[in-house]
């Protein structure tokens, strides 16, 4: 295969990392997570029901799955780079679109395109960053890069609170987030990793990657996706649904972001010391506990503790899993990440729709939280099985 030369422009490591962080704030933070703090406002002011809220979230993840399938199919390095670049601009457009109409089909289109943007940032952008780190001889970890997701949560939480204090309605807040996104677009665009060099044409998978390993990892990441999406979609709504906690939802969502941002550094250290699979097992257990606490208690303490545990784990699970599979496929880490994310995306389509329907029927989210905890426990069992298989001679 003919070698593909990297861009001649010279980038420093801090530029690549900062640009990747800003790209995640745009493609995940604004295009996806702005929906979470604005959901109660849309329900109060725009008549959005629990069931429709869940289906809109599922539509977002349908877009994410479509983007994941595309990323898993695309081999051409230049095309992957162009798709990631397009996702940066599209993230601003669809965020603005949410505030320009109250038509449910326009919302659904925005959520679907937002899912495509999320896949471009999470998979293509992260793959570009990881490839650049490996080619530059840097430690091939994504913990620092994925602080962009925690920053995206924080930006949406703080932005929603400040715009609410200014008296902006739901539509004006969506438009405000599009304006905020311009701040992150410039570094994300200017410091994109160049098109990666490829000099070999052999199989993308490393010799140590078996089909059994990939199947188990796919199932494990499905469980992780289920655990991620319930709190990512409904945290604010769960808190606001409790009369004694009304008005506290945005603050709890802010705690998630503030906890998630530094937690990825901790999980990198845990993985270095104990191995990624044992570290993932611990993270899954803590995230299951984060679901059970608000399920058994409606107190503010349970809501805060659950948010802190969720924030401390969900990014660590993503970072460790994607870095692990990316290192197993050094020639095209973004494509390998995308294939694994098919399981994650499948959970993100089914879980919010089911949770929204369960909440519509019962009037609360307790059943959805119990079910999510059970799915995470299944993920722990699969991790234990994978560790046992890897320990065999």
**How do the domains of the chain map onto residue ranges?**
13-198+206-391
d(CA 76, CA 81) in angstroms, rounded, equals: 9
The H-assigned helical ranges of the chain are 13-24, 35-45, 50-73, 77-98, 104-119, 126-135, 147-165, 170-190, 211-240, 249-274, 276-296, 300-328, 333-362, 366-391
Nearest to 303 by CA among 312, 294, 311, 295: 294
pLDDT one-digit tens code per residue, 289-311:
999 998 898 787 888 888 889 98
Class of domain 13-198+206-391: mainly alpha
d(CA 308, CA 306) in angstroms, rounded, equals: 5
- Quote the pLDDT of residue 233: 67
pLDDT one-digit tens code per residue, 103-155:
999 999 999 999 999 999 988 998 888 888 878 777 766 778 888 888 888 89
How much of the chain, in percent, has pLDDT values that exceed 70?
91
| Most confident stretch, 1-15, 72-86, 190-204 | 72-86
> For residues 171 and 14, which has the higher predicted lDDT (pLDDT)?
171
- Quote the pLDDT of residue 203: 42
- Quote the pLDDT of residue 202: 41
pLDDT one-digit tens code per residue, 207-243:
445 778 889 999 999 999 988 877 766 777 777 766 6
> For residues 228 and 82, which has the higher predicted lDDT (pLDDT)?
82
| Most confident stretch, 66-75, 271-280, 298-307 | 271-280
**Helix 126-135 vs helix 300-328: angle between axes, to the nearest 10 degrees?**
50
d(CA 368, CA 116) in angstroms, rounded, equals: 26
């Amino acid at each position: 295969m003919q070698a593909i030369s990297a861009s001649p422009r010279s980038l420093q490591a801090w530029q690549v990392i900062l640009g990747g962080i800003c790209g995640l704030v745009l493609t995940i933070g604004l295009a996806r997570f702005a929906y979470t703090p604005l959901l109660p406002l849309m329900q109060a002011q725009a008549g959005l029901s629990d069931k429709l809220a869940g289906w809109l979230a599922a539509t977002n993840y349908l877009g994410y799955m479509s983007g994941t399938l595309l990323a898993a199919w695309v081999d051409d390095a230049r095309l992957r780079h162009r798709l990631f670049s397009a996702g940066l601009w599209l993230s601003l457009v669809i965020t603005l679109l949410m505030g320009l109409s109250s038509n449910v089909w326009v919302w659904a289109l925005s959520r679907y395109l937002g899912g495509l943007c999320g896949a471009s940032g999470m998979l293509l952008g992260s793959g570009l960053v990881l490839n650049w780190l490996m080619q530059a001889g840097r430690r091939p970890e994504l913990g620092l890069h994925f602080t962009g997701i925690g920053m995206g949560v924080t930006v949406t939480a703080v932005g929603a609170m400040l715009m609410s204090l200014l008296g902006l309605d739901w539509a004006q807040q969506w438009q405000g987030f599009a304006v905020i996104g311009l701040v992150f677009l410039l570094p994300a665009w200017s410091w994109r990793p160049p098109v990666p060099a490829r000099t070999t044409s052999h199989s993308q998978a490393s010799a140590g990657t078996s089909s059994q390993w990939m199947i188990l990892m796919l199932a494990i990441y499905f469980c992780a996706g289920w655990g991620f999406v319930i709190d990512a979609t409904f945290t604010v709504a769960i808190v606001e649904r409790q009369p004694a906690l009304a008005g506290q939802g945005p603050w709890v969502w802010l705690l998630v972001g503030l906890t998630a941002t530094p937690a990825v550094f901790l999980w990198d250290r845990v993985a270095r010391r104990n191995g990624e699979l044992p570290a993932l097992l611990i993270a899954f257990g803590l995230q299951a506990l984060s679901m059970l606490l608000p399920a058994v208690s409606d107190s503010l303490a349970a809501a805060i503790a659950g948010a802190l545990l969720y924030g401390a784990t969900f990014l660590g699970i993503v970072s460790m899993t994607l870095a692990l599979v990316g290192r197993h496929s050094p020639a095209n880490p973004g494509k390998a990440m995308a294939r694994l994310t098919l399981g994650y995306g499948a959970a993100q389509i089914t879980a919010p729709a089911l949770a929204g329907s369960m909440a519509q029927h019962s009037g609360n989210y307790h059943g959805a939280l119990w079910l999510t905890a059970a799915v995470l426990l299944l993920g722990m069992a699969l991790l234990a099985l994978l560790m046992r298989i890897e320990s065999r001679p």
